[in-house]
Amino acid sequence: MNRAIYARRRLVNGTFLSLSVAAALVGMIALALILYALVVNGVQALSPTLFTLDQPAPQSIGGLKNAIYGSLLLNAMAIAIGTPIGIFAGTYLAEYGRHSWTAFFVRFANDILLSAPSILIGLFIYVLMVPRMHGFSALAGSLALAIIVIPVVVRTTENMLLLVPNTLREAAASIGAPRAISIRAVTWRAARAGIVTGILLALARISGETAPLLFTAFGNPNTSFNILGPVGALPLTIFNFFNSAYDDWHRLAWAGALIITAAVLTLSVFARLLEGRRS
């Protein structure tokens, strides 16, 4: 009798543990299948002209230069706009506000924005800016991306500043350093690696974003650096090319997808390494 119960418990244990090994395998296999498809299809279209030619008309030779430069422009502007706001807000939460009601609400709003559907952010910036500015623009696109950057930077900045030991702050105060100077010269410096990790993660996150750019940056078949006009972006080009019926556009889009994924994964691995080295 006892033996029967014992056998049953072992069976249940064995079954569920095998199932969780299987779950891990499923995850690994999914990752492998996606990366495999991406590499196999993407490598075929990789060539130096990808970086030197603009988007082609169907059935002719071309590259992704307009999209790559557009993405670089949008990402740079989004980081430039989003990072200072994010770092300042994170500093407020960790240094000044800590237990205040303001900080409570800001934290709450921030954590929701962190996972908010990015298409809503695109819609928001569209309604706010595009009709007023009489058209799509790189500025609108980068603002939409900046709204995605901010919560990521706020969260990591706050967490990293909270890890800085209070004795450092007290030491700064004891030699008479004003609060603002002690934050800039002591706590920021102590948390620098972590804050940079946050910025890299934010960059990785926006590099693959398509939805917020659909009605803001819109896309542009030519290379453009005019921040008041529409610009291309890699994810937009991929979306548009795959929605077309042309095989050569599909091939270019696979190459674009490979480039983006490689960039995003490199960035996030790099960010993790930076984080790992610190701890």
Partner 1 sequence: MADIALSDTSATTERATALRRFSRSDAVFRFFTRSSALAILAIFAGILVTLIGGAWVSITQFGVGFLTTSTWNPVTEKFGAWPAIYGTLVSSAIAMILALPLGIGIAIFLTEICPRQLKRPIGIAIELLAGIPSIVYGIWGLFILAPYFQVNIEQHVIDWFDGIPVLQSLFAGPPYGIGLFTAGLILAIMILPFIASVTRDVFETAPPMLKEAAYGTGCTTWEVMWRIVLPFTQSGVVGGAMLALGRALGETMAVTFVIGNAHTHITANLFAPATTISATIANEFAEALGNVYPAAIIECGLILMGLTFTVLAAAQLMLRGFERRAGGRSA
Q: 96 or 225, CB closer to partner 1?
A: 96
Angle between helix 138-163 and helix 118-129 axes, rounded to 10 deg: 130
| CB 106, CB 97: distance < 8 Å | yes
Whole-angstrom distance, CA of residue 96 vs CA of residue 278: 25
Nearest distance from C-beta of residue 69 to partner 1, angstroms = 19
Q: 52 or 244, CB closer to partner 1?
A: 244
Residues within window 198-257 making contact with partner 1, judged by CB under 8 A: 204, 207-211, 214-215, 218, 235, 238-239, 242, 253-254, 257
Residue 21, amino acid: V
Residue 121, amino acid: I
Exposed e or buried b for every residue in 173-206, given b needs 16+ CB within 10 A?
A: eeeebeeeebbeebbbebbeebbbbbbbbbbbbb
Nearest distance from C-beta of residue 166 to partner 1, angstroms = 17
Among 49, 223, 224, 261, binds partner 1 (CB under 8 A): 261
Whole-angstrom distance, CA of residue 63 vs CA of residue 45: 10
Q: 48 or 91, CB closer to partner 1?
A: 91
Q: Is 61 helix (H, G, I), strand (E, B) or coil?
A: coil
Q: How far is CA 179 from CA 51, 120, 170, 176, 220, in A?
A: 48, 38, 10, 9, 47
- Is the alpha carbon torsion for 68, 257, 138, 60 positive or negative? positive
Count of other CB atoms within 10 angstroms of residue 162: 15
Residues within window 81-110 making contact with partner 1, judged by CB under 8 A: 84-89, 91-93, 95-97, 102-103, 105-106, 108-110
Nearest distance from C-beta of residue 245 to partner 1, angstroms = 13
Q: 33 or 61, CB closer to partner 1?
A: 33
Q: 10 or 52, CB closer to partner 1?
A: 10
- Is the alpha carbon torsion for 129, 224, 266, 248 positive or negative? positive
Verify binding: residue 20, partner 1, rule CB under 8 A: yes
Among 44, 46, 76, 117, binds partner 1 (CB under 8 A): 117
Residues within window 22-61 making contact with partner 1, judged by CB under 8 A: 22-24, 26-28, 30-31, 33-34, 37-38, 41
Q: 21 or 52, CB closer to partner 1?
A: 21
Nearest distance from C-beta of residue 12 to partner 1, angstroms = 6
Nearest distance from C-beta of residue 227 to partner 1, angstroms = 21
Nearest distance from C-beta of residue 120 to partner 1, angstroms = 6
Q: 7 or 76, CB closer to partner 1?
A: 7
Task: Choose among 105, 267, 96: nearest CA to 187.
Answer: 96
Whole-angstrom distance, CA of residue 94 vs CA of residue 191: 12
Verify binding: residue 1, partner 1, rule CB under 8 A: no
Count of other CB atoms within 10 angstroms of residue 89: 22
Site map (CB under 8 A) of partner 1, residues 149-188, x = contact: -xx--x-----------------------xxxx-xx----
